[in-house]
């Protein structure tokens, strides 16, 4: 069981309502989303009516408590939502799920007034939100941000540049990280970060260029520019200078959703490869009859099941709380996203020549899988988090100070 303490640490509880939700999302995907995939890929935009349909189905309110206008539900329900949507379109899943990077910190660290002001609009799908942390010189190194917030009468003035911000094109609200004071020392460089809520109408906030990244066609990220943006004091989330904890806690939860996206992509790539191998004939028999193909499919299925179990385990741990879920979320994100890339690549190879044709749609799984490996912390960051948690839990050693 090392480094865990009992078999209960590996228990996965899946309530009946989670399966009901899966069927609801699957029906939406097959009847509403799949017929529009070609349109989304070609235009690079998600139709507004599809987002409204998703909001009407209650998808934008999952994970938000009923007292703030949401559907409630456990983190496992958010994971199933992301998995099923990603099975068709990672871009659409990200478009719905990115608001979680706003709602999680507000729910965990925000004031009651902030929760009641912003969350109901997100839950209803009337408004969308984004999370602006990454900068040209700071991505996985959260403590490396250089954007600043200067205290003035009644609030703060923010300046800086954020890049690769998913959902910024349509977001009405933003969680934004800045430095309100310099780090006191190299060992404490995480100190001095403060989190703010910014609304789209705030003067000085600009949405800059759209980045033409390899995947996420339909929800490609944007640049967010802060040019003397005045933010009232009541829009500070949590404590001044203590925003680093808010950020890393948010990512502890969010990376499980990314693992779920990867599982959805892997599921789609596997299904497509399996169906093709049954239909494609070579030497007068279906290619699945050849060991070179059938063994690949068996390996794909094995890794897919393992990735799903790890992801559901992490989601169950997140619902229960406790430090073990950070272990679980990092392991699930690392494994599931790498498996998604492997399965997508094997699917292309099984398809042969047609697998290279973008119109056929298999290459999209590989493009999107690469995105899941990088955002919300690369595989290397997840490995670092895992070993740091291990050393701290078992030996009381903080690797950051070694």
**Which residues participate in catalysis according to the annotation?**
376
- Output the CA–CA distances (angstroms, integers) from residue 337 to 26, 59, 263, 292, in the order listed: 21, 23, 8, 24
The number of angstroms, rounded, from the C-alpha of 158 to the middle of its chain's C-alpha atoms is 26
- Element (H or E) spanning 13, and its range? none
The number of angstroms, rounded, from the C-alpha of 329 to the middle of its chain's C-alpha atoms is 12
Given a contact cutoff of 8 angstroms between Cβ atoms, the answer to whether 229 and 322 are in contact is: no
Q: 242 φ, ψ to 5°?
A: -120, 30
In the block, tokens 């398809």 appear at: 351
Given a contact cutoff of 8 angstroms between Cβ atoms, the answer to whether 264 and 79 are in contact is: no
Tokens of 145: 């941000």
Among 258, 216, 226, residue whose Cα is nearest residue 378? 258
Given a contact cutoff of 8 angstroms between Cβ atoms, the answer to whether 347 and 272 are in contact is: yes
In the block, tokens 């004939």 appear at: 281
Q: Please state, in angstroms and rounded to a whole number, the distance separating the CA atoms of residues 316 and 99.
A: 21
One DSSP character per residue, 147-173 reads -EEEEETTEEEEEEEEEEETTTTT-SE
Q: How many Cβ atoms are within 10 Å of 302's Cβ, its own excluded?
A: 11
- Element (H or E) spanning 195, and its range? strand 193-199
Q: Please state, in angstroms and rounded to a whole number, the distance separating the CA atoms of residues 114 and 234.
A: 8
List residues bridging with 62 in a β-sheet. 72
């Amino acid at each position: 069981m090392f480094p865990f303490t009992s078999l209960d640490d590996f228990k996965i509880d899946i309530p009946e309502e989670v399966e009901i939700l899966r069927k609801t999302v699957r029906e939406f995907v097959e009847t509403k989303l799949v017929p529009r995939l070609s349109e989304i890929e070609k235009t690079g935009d998600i139709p507004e009516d599809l987002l409204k349909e998703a909001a009407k189905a209650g998808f934008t309110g999952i994970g938000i408590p009923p007292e703030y206008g949401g559907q409630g539900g456990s983190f496992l329900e958010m994971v199933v939502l992301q998995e099923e949507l990603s099975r068709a379109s990672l871009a659409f899943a990200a478009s719905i799920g990115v608001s979680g990077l706003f709602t999680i910190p507000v729910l965990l660290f925000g004031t009651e007034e902030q929760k009641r002001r912003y969350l109901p609009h997100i839950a209803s799908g009337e408004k969308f939100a984004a999370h602006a942390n990454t900068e040209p010189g700071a991505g996985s190194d959260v403590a490396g941000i250089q954007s600043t917030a200067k205290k003035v009468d009644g609030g703060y003035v923010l300046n800086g540049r954020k890049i690769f911000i998913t959902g910024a094109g349509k977001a009405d609200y933003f969680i934004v990280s800045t430095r309100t004071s310099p780090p006191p020392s190299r060992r404490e460089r995480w100190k001095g970060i403060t989190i703010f809520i910014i609304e789209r109408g705030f003067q000085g906030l600009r949405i800059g260029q759209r980045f033409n990244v390899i995947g996420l066609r339909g929800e490609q990220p944007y640049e967010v520019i802060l040019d003397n943006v005045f933010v009232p004091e009541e829009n500070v989330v949590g404590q001044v200078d203590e925003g680093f904890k808010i950020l890393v806690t948010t990512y502890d939860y969010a990376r499980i959703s990314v693992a779920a996206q990867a599982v959805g992509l892997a599921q789609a790539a596997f299904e497509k490869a399996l169906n093709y191998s049954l239909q494609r004939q070579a030497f007068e028999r279906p290619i699945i009859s050849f060991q070179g193909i059938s063994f690949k499919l068996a390996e794909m299925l094995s890794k897919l099941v393992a990735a799903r179990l790890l992801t559901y385990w992490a989601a169950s741990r997140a619902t229960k709380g406790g430090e073990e879920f950070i272990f679980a979320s990092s392991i699930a994100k690392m494994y599931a996203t790498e498996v998604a890339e492997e399965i997508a690549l094997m699917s292309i190879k099984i398809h042969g020549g047609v697998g290279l044709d973008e119109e056929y749609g298999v290459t999209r799984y590989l493009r999107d899988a690469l995105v899941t490996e990088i955002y919300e912390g690369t595989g290397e960051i997840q490995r670092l988090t895992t070993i740091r948690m291990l050393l701290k839990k078992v030996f009381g050693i903080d690797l950051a100070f070694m």
